[in-house]
Amino acid sequence: MTADAEPSLKRGLRTLTPTASAIADGGRVRLRTLNLIRWIAVGGQTAALAIVYVGLEYPLPIVPAGLLVLASVAVNLQAAWSHRGAPWLTDRGAAVYLAVDLVQLSALLALTGGLANPFALLILAPVTVSASVLSRTSTLALAGLAILSASVLSLVHAPLPWGNGGLDLPDLYIGGIWAALVLAVGFIAAYVFSLAAEAQRMSDALSATQMALAREQRLSALGGLAAAAAHELGSPLGTIAVVAREIRGEVPEGSDLQEDAELLLQESQRCRDILARLAAQPEGDRGDASFWDLPLSALAQSAAQPFERDDIALEVNTAPRDSTRQPTLQRKPEILHAIGTLVQNAMGFAASRVILEARWDSRTAELAILDDGPGFDPQILPYIGEPYLSTRRRDSGGENMGLGIFIARTLLARTGADVLFDNRPEGGAQAIVRWPRARLEEAAPVGGGATTRLGYDPGRQDERVTP
């Protein structure tokens, strides 16, 4: 990934969600979702009050309890009315609505037994919702409110509605329920928030991967368009050149028309030279298999070429492990981008040399990217390839999102490859891209088209390509 690619991806990630103003302060909650949850809560509370008061005929402060349910209905209607043009809530707005729900539930529990009420467990619901979608600040605030509510309910509450004189639970049991709720609030808030944050990070990283792949595909398509244009425009430019020569030969010497014909001939030749240079770049030209399908070493050289540096030697070698021919790969944008990213990372840390070594046998094909730099930090080596794990390159500029290797690994996985990272015994780092050979031969034809054009002899096993 180029130095300016990661900041552009970071800017692009900000546009992935529907409402930028809501996402900017951490909110990712649809108002409709909260309203639906609240309507379900209103229905459940109404049903519970009706069953206890009417069905079981238990003594119950039905009027204040009913007013609390109606208050929740009023909050829902107010939310729907005041946010008609904004379907997404900000982080703060969503936290306020969840806090109101928590206070309403706590007041209802205070009228119906406090923590002795089996529905006291629902205190966890607003905290769980907040931990899954809201910011850490909002989640901590709601968790504190939930603990405060549980603490007040353990001390101040009306008797639990019960028949035959009521039901008094020991204080020790109520204290146990309080302790369980407090621990559950803390554990669920931390655990759910951690899972949600990791899922969001992975989602953003995968979105960045798709953006990088789309960018490479657009560049590849642009190269194909240029090659096609060069091919199609060659004939009419040749005709223009022939006509210009005939006009130049027929007009009198020193005539203005002769100068115009000479200029026309020069400009047509200039256009043909430009088109010849475009045609010499085979990017994206699927019509010619000799350009689209390349030996592994040639593909590695093509991917690494944009990252060559004067102060770092770049070598591309072959190291066959048996007598089979060198495997052929399709010139896919994801392979070029991924290998280029790994090469760029190696060039950033190398002291003097980076080696790309193509290895193969009858079962596997490998490309090893080797450098003579300091190697990977042993503490982060097991985690290399995870998103947002960044070790800033010494030649990098600007922001570094820590997504380059993750994107490379993800793109290569789409082609059936595994990517392994390790430190070399002689010093330096190595990244090994390994494909099952059968997978490559299913995707690319076996033949000598590419090898013949590029000067590759299948019989030579000591091939060495240098930039």
Whole-angstrom distance, CA of residue 340 vs CA of residue 301: 9
State which H helix or E strand residue 405 sits in: helix 404-414
Chain segment 357-399, per-residue pLDDT in tens: 999 999 999 999 999 999 888 888 887 877 666 655 444 443 4
Q: Which residue has the higher pLDDT, 8 or 192?
A: 192
435 DSSP β-pair partners: 365
Whole-angstrom distance, CA of residue 35 vs CA of residue 108: 19
Check if the beta carbon of residue 97 is closer than 8 Å to that of residue 34. Answer: yes
- For residue 29, pLDDT beyond 80: no
Check if the beta carbon of residue 401 is closer than 8 Å to that of residue 388. Answer: yes
Whole-angstrom distance, CA of residue 297 vs CA of residue 317: 7
End-to-end CA separation in angstroms for the chain:
20
- Angstrom distances, CA of residue 387 to CA of 364, 391, 417: 27, 12, 18
Please list, residue by residue across 343-364, b when 16 or more beta carbons sit within 10 angstroms of its beta carbon and e when fewer do.
bbbbbbbbeebbbbbbbbeeeb
Chain segment 282-340, per-residue pLDDT in tens: 444 444 444 467 889 988 988 898 888 889 999 999 999 998 999 888 877 778 888 98
Tokens of 56: 């079981």
Question: What is the predicted pLDDT for the residue at 277?
Answer: 67
Chain segment 67-77, per-residue pLDDT in tens: 999 998 998 88
Whole-angstrom distance, CA of residue 303 vs CA of residue 285: 16
Domain with CATH 3.30.565.10 in the chain: 289-465
Question: What is the predicted pLDDT for the residue at 56?
Answer: 84
CATH topology of domain 289-465: Heat Shock Protein 90 (3.30.565)
Residue 294: partners with Cβ closer than 8 Å, 6 or more residues away: 302, 328, 329, 331, 450, 454
Check if the beta carbon of residue 197 is closer than 8 Å to that of residue 388. Answer: no
Tokens of 262: 């000479």
> Confidence class of residue 100 from pLDDT cuts 50, 70 and 90?
very high
Least confident of 23-32, 124-133, 230-239: 23-32
Question: What is the predicted pLDDT for the residue at 209?
Answer: 62
Least confident of 1-5, 204-208, 355-359: 1-5
- For residue 354, pLDDT beyond 90: yes
- Angstrom distances, CA of residue 295 to CA of 221, 284, 337: 21, 16, 17
314 DSSP β-pair partners: 354
Question: What is the predicted pLDDT for the residue at 68?
Answer: 92
User: Per mean pLDDT, which of 70-79, 229-238, 386-395, 442-451 is the most reliable?
Assistant: 70-79
User: Averaged over 166-188, what is the pLDDT?
Assistant: 85
Q: To which residue do tokens 């960018």 refer?
A: 215
Least confident of 41-50, 68-77, 358-367, 435-444: 435-444
Q: Is the alpha carbon torsion for 216, 222, 227, 228 positive or negative?
A: positive
Question: What is the predicted pLDDT for the residue at 314?
Answer: 92
Question: What is the predicted pLDDT for the residue at 455?
Answer: 32
User: Per mean pLDDT, which of 156-170, 216-230, 412-426 is the most reliable?
Assistant: 412-426
Average pLDDT value for the chain:
76
Residue of 374, 378, 379 lying closest to 394 (CA atoms): 374
Whole-angstrom distance, CA of residue 187 vs CA of residue 86: 33
Tokens of 395: 């030649």
Q: Which residue has the higher pLDDT, 277 or 58?
A: 58
Q: How far is CA 466 from the centre of its chain?
A: 35
User: Averaged over 177-189, what is the pLDDT?
Assistant: 88
Tokens of 204: 């953003």
Question: What is the predicted pLDDT for the residue at 145?
Answer: 93
